[in-house]
Amino acid sequence: MAGTANSWEAADQWLRARGQDWGVSSGDLLQASGSIKETLTLIQEGQLAEGPVEIEISYDEVDLVLELGYRGSPVQAVAPEQQPAAASGKESLARDLLAAWRCCPY
Q: What is the pLDDT confidence band of residue 69, given thresholds at 50, 70 and 90?
A: confident
pTM score of the predicted model: 0.64
Residue 3 lies in a domain: no
Cα 8 versus chain centre, distance: 10
Instruction: For residue 16, count CB atoms less than 10 angstroms from its CB and return exposed for 0-12, middle for 13-18, buried for 19 or more.
Output: middle
Give the pLDDT of residue 50: 92
Kindly state whether residue 90 falls inside one of the protein's structural domains: yes
Residue 97 has pLDDT above 60, yes or no: no
CA angle 58, 42, 3 (to 5 degrees): 40
Instruction: Answer yes or no: is 82 within a domain.
Output: yes
Nearest to 54 by CA among 9, 101, 99, 106: 106
Domain total of the chain: 1
Domain that holds residue 23: 8-102
Domain assignment present for residue 52? The answer is yes
65 three-class SS? strand
For residues 73-88, give the mean pLDDT: 59
**pLDDT tens track for 4-52:** 434 678 888 888 888 989 999 999 999 999 888 888 888 888 899 998 8
Is residue 70 a part of any domain in this protein? yes
- Is residue 78 situated within a structural domain? yes
Is residue 14 in a domain? Answer: yes
pLDDT 10s digits, 48-64: 999 888 888 888 888 88
Q: Is there a domain that residue 71 lies in?
A: yes
